[in-house]
Chains A and B, each alone.
Chain A
Amino acid sequence: MLAVIDYGMGNLHSVSMALKRMNVPFRVTSDHEEIKQSGGIILPGVGAFGDAMRELEERGLVSVIKQEANQGKPLLGICLGMQLLFSSSDEHGYYQGLNLLPGHVVRFSGDYLIPHMGWNWLSIKHPHPLFYGLEEDYVYFVHSYHVQARNAEDVIATTDYYQPVTAVVARNNIYGMQFHPEKSGELGRKLLERFVLLTETKVGV
């Protein structure tokens, strides 16, 4: 069973719907026990970084998520959920994240449209079990802030929006996707399926 973390932010519905379509058992929850019992955690998120950390903190979820992740449970952050995996963000001030991966989140800045919204090409940078059997394609992004990872090897796929943009991160059991796999057509669905498979087989990297 997967735990989709419910912390009062954004649209949990679309991730849940995608899991339902895939016949994956899951629970939308903020219950600590349920999260501890789960086979894997999905951290969705739409909204602001600081608000999200506060909501997680208020529900005692920061320590639970970190503890579970540090014990090797597969964890997937989606969109803002991926950004929360990192050390800190500049969004409306300076906020600390879950710090499971080293790196900082900054706003896009330049003479171009912000947010980065729409379908963009996913370029695989490092081979990874998450990408097994998959081919590069377009995926759907909506974000105004992006991750600058401290370890280049944690970034396993990027996209191009006036600069290389972190699109998929992975280190051991920690995964993140900046785009919305649940809104990204066939490749998105396959990536979610691969994550689910990795939670079931506990494939280490």
Chain B
Amino acid sequence: MITKRIIPCLDVKDGRVVKGVSFVNLRDAGDPVELAAEYDRQRADELVFLDISASHEGRKTMRDVVRRAAGELSIPFTVGGGIGSVEDMFEILRAGADKVSINTSAILNPELIEEGARRFGSQCIVVAIDAKYDPDAGDWFVYTHGGRNHTGKRALDWAKEAVDRGAGEILLTSMDQDGQKNGFDLPLTREISREINIPVIASGGAGNEQHFAEVFEQTAASAALAASIFHFGEVSIASVKEHLRAKGVEVR
């Protein structure tokens, strides 16, 4: 059967990895392509590059990163950040990315999902959702602009709309859990992954191997993403997979 995927995420600014890394065997740990190639060797299943450059120059640099990554990697990778049009998608996909991830731009212009899916196929279009729990409303809501803007949209409604419009995958980040290292947001991930029929990537909160086991045992997530815990070597791809195998979760 299809395996659960483990996905490291690299934040890239102006062509450099933002959060520091502690792999001693890399010549240049700030080079996203070198770091990505290391994750490929460690049998990561996919990679996500998140471009957080603010400038036009930074975005152009990202395309060079994508081109070099495509030359090096033997696993699929997704690029997100600053993709606001079908033309932007085309540039990134042509540079060699397998998928593009859209977040704020999809909220501002939901037709972007349809246009992208029609032109490049649903399998290329990942819709990233940043969700935060509102205890008064008893539900999760979508935030944009890196979590600054409350959209008023319920996470589940938006996920369903994204699916209807042709998204191929949902990258679901819990803003409540992100950076906390005390586990994925199980109720959020459970609700969304149960209600939609495309893969959900759980993101935010992973701190140890057991957190990955929980998210796969207790939700229908297809993949789990983490960033700093992998970069700092607190948890390795291999140790996560070993733990999952021991728990009976099939991984590559």
Contacts and interface: CB of A to CB of B under 8 A. Distances in A.
- Of A18, A21, A113, which is in contact with the most chain B CB atoms at under 10 Å from its CB? A113
Contacts of B252: 119, 138
Nearest to B96: A13
B93 interface: yes
A183 B47 CA distance: 12
Interface stretch (A23-31, A124-132, A168-176, A185-193): A185-193
A119 B2 contact: yes
A60 interface: no
A174 to B, nearest CB: 25
B1 interface: yes
Interface in B65-103: 70-72, 74-76, 93-96, 98
Contact of B74 (A10, A18, A20): A18
Interface string A99-131: 000000000000001111111110000000000
Query: Chain B contact residues: over half helix, strand or loop, or mixed?
Result: loop
Nearest to B99: A142
Contact of B98 (A20, A47, A141, A183): A183
B45 to A, nearest CB: 6
Given A46-B121, A115-B168, A183-B98, A140 B75 contact: yes
A11 B98 contact: yes
A189 B2 CA distance: 20
Interface residues of B, number: 30
A121 B123 CA distance: 20
B199 interface: yes
Nearest to B193: A113
Given A113-B198, A188-B74, A161 B1 contact: yes
B226 interface: no
B5 interface: yes
Contact of A47 (B121, B169, B222): B121
B197 A113 contact: yes
B171 to A, nearest CB: 13
Nearest to A118: B2
A134 interface: no
Contacts of B203: none
A82 B93 CA distance: 22
B122 interface: yes
B199 A14 contact: no
B10 interface: no
B202 interface: no
Contacts of B197: 113-114
B2 A185 contact: no
A160 interface: yes
A196 B161 CA distance: 44
Interface string A74-117: 00000000000000000000000000000000000000011111
Given A119-B45, A142-B76, 15 more contacts: A13-B70, A46-B120, A113-B198, A113-B222, A114-B197, A117-B2, A118-B2, A118-B199, A120-B2, A138-B252, A140-B76, A183-B75, A183-B98, A185-B43, A185-B74
Interface of B: 1-3, 5, 40, 43, 45, 70-72, 74-76, 93-96, 98, 120-123, 168-169, 197-199, 222-223, 252
Interface of A: 10-11, 13-14, 17-18, 20-21, 46-47, 113-121, 138, 140-142, 144, 160-161, 180, 182-186, 188-189
12 contacts: A14-B98, A17-B71, A46-B123, A47-B121, A113-B198, A114-B197, A115-B123, A118-B2, A119-B5, A121-B1, A138-B252, A142-B123
